[in-house]
Amino acid sequence: QKEVEQNSGPLSVPEGAIASLNCTYSDRGSQSFFWYRQYSGKSPELIMFIYSNGDKEDGRFTAQLNKASQYVSLLIRDSQPSDSATYLCAGISGTYKYIFGTGTRLKVLA
């Protein structure tokens, strides 16, 4: 079983809609979670991180963490075609060992 799992997609949403990206993890000791965006042919870039249960908002992005259910999600409000990318979820396991999920490809349709 992969330690961090994501649906590979593609997830297609119309422009202006809310995109919901989900991630589950198996290591209950994981404390911190991160969302990266990776455009095709480019390197991943950090867009959100969350340490505590609940929601964390940053502009159009909201990260949600539920440690009891072991899932993390990223909501993108008012989705734009420029949000089309692969979104990678990552968690920290052990001492600074970063585990990435396989990523979800998001397509925002104009």
Among 20, 26, 70, 102, which residue sits at the site for another protein (rule: CB under 8 A)?
102
Binding pattern to another protein, positions 19-58, x when CB under 8 A? -------------x-x-x-x---xxxxx--x---------
Strands 104-109 and 11-14 turn out to be: parallel
Report the phi/psi class of residue 29: left, alpha or beta, with left for phi > 0 and alpha for psi in -120 to 50: alpha
Closest to 70 (Cα-Cα) out of 95, 48, 101, 97: 101
Q: Work out whether 100 is an interface residue with another protein (CB under 8 A).
A: yes
Residue choice 23, 47, 65, 92 for contact with another protein (CB under 8 A): 92
Structure tokens at 92: 């920290």
Question: Which is closer to another protein, CB of 26 or CB of 102?
Answer: 102
